[in-house]
Chains A and B, each alone.
Chain A
Amino acid sequence: GAVVSQHPSRVICKSGTSVKIECRSLDFQATTMFWYRQFPKKSLMLMATSNEGSKATYEQGVEKDKFLINHASLTLSTLTVTSAHPEDSSFYICSAPGLAGEQYFGPGTRLTVT
């Protein structure tokens, strides 16, 4: 099946710094990718839709200047958490749609802001 990777799997950063998370579709192209945030034992909250070659579409309440999304190629989308604060600590997951309507999810990135 299709594979989506994320890097890094875990990252610890200091408050005020920026962190970049990569999402790659390894064996297929994705003009669209999705970024989710998940709190412990909670459902996934869709943050934004990443569109290759154009601006990302953000969900209501998500700060686009804080969560910068770039989809520079058909296999790579990046999420940059700018000026991170402890409340940004979370599990971030990306996904890419398959040909049959399902989505393929990355393994997630655990961000801890100290």
Chain B
Amino acid sequence: AQSVAQPEDQVNVAEGNPLTVKCTYSVSGNPYLFWYVQYPNRGLQFLLKYITGDNLVKGSYGFEAEFNKSQTSFHLKKPSALVSDSALYFCAVRVAGGSSNTGKLIFGQGTTLQVKP
């Protein structure tokens, strides 16, 4: 069965410090991986994705993620956190089968990122 795990409910960092939000996955076949961010009472905003190619993926708002096949991880990172980065972050994997642009997503549990001034 395919699944996504975000082991941390909450991550706290000081503004200006690097941040990492962890994600591990379990899929059959090649993974299609995504990160989304959600602000309070809002829908999800797409940050970045890994489909194929370079393991280091760069996305919106200075975020990046590193695909590690051997560790089945796709951790989200940012070199210098901002207070405005405080939000709920979701890792997701596309369910195998179907075309690449219509497949449904399985989401991790979500990690709340708190950046303090």
Q: Do residues B46 and A102 form an inter-chain contact, with CB atoms below 8 A?
A: yes
Q: Which residues of B contact A4 (CB under 8 A)?
A: 43
Q: In the complex the two chains form, what is the Cα distance from A16 to B49 in whole Å? A: 42
Please tell me the size bucket of the interface on B.
20 to 34
- Kindly report which residue of chain B lies nearest to residue A36, judged by CB atoms: B107
Give chain A nearest CB distance to B52 CB in angstroms.
Answer: 10
Q: What are the nearest 3 A-B pairs in CB distance?
A: A105-B43, A105-B44, A107-B43
Q: Do residues A43 and B102 form an inter-chain contact, with CB atoms below 8 A?
A: no
Q: In the complex the two chains form, what is the Cα distance from A42 to B88 in whole Å? A: 9
Q: Do residues A93 and B32 form an inter-chain contact, with CB atoms below 8 A?
A: no
Q: Do residues A43 and B108 form an inter-chain contact, with CB atoms below 8 A?
A: yes
Q: Which residues of A contact B105 (CB under 8 A)?
A: 34, 46, 103
> With an 8 A cutoff between CB atoms, is B22 at the interface?
no
Q: Do residues A108 and B42 form an inter-chain contact, with CB atoms below 8 A?
A: yes
Beyond A43-B90, A108-B43, A110-B41, whether A101 also contacts B109 by CB under 8 A is: no
Beyond A44-B90, A44-B107, whether A101 also contacts B41 by CB under 8 A is: no
Q: Which residues of B contact A49 (CB under 8 A)?
A: 104
- Kindly report which residue of chain B lies nearest to residue A30, judged by CB atoms: B102
Beyond A101-B49, A107-B43, whether A46 also contacts B104 by CB under 8 A is: yes
Chain A residues with a Cβ under 8 A of chain B: 1, 4, 6, 31-32, 34, 41-44, 46, 49, 91, 93, 95, 97-108, 110
- Kindly report which residue of chain A lies nearest to residue B44, judged by CB atoms: A105
Q: In the complex the two chains form, what is the Cα distance from A103 to B32 in whole Å? A: 12
Beyond A34-B104, A41-B88, A43-B110, whether A105 also contacts B51 by CB under 8 A is: no
Selected contact of A101 from candidates B42, B45, B51, B110, CB within 8 Å: B51
Give chain A nearest CB distance to B54 CB in angstroms.
Answer: 16
7 contacts between A and B (CB under 8 A): A41-B110, A42-B109, A43-B108, A44-B107, A95-B43, A100-B49, A110-B41
Give chain A nearest CB distance to B28 CB in angstroms.
Answer: 17
Q: Do residues B46 and A104 form an inter-chain contact, with CB atoms below 8 A?
A: yes
Q: In the complex the two chains form, what is the Cα distance from A51 to B95 in whole Å? A: 17
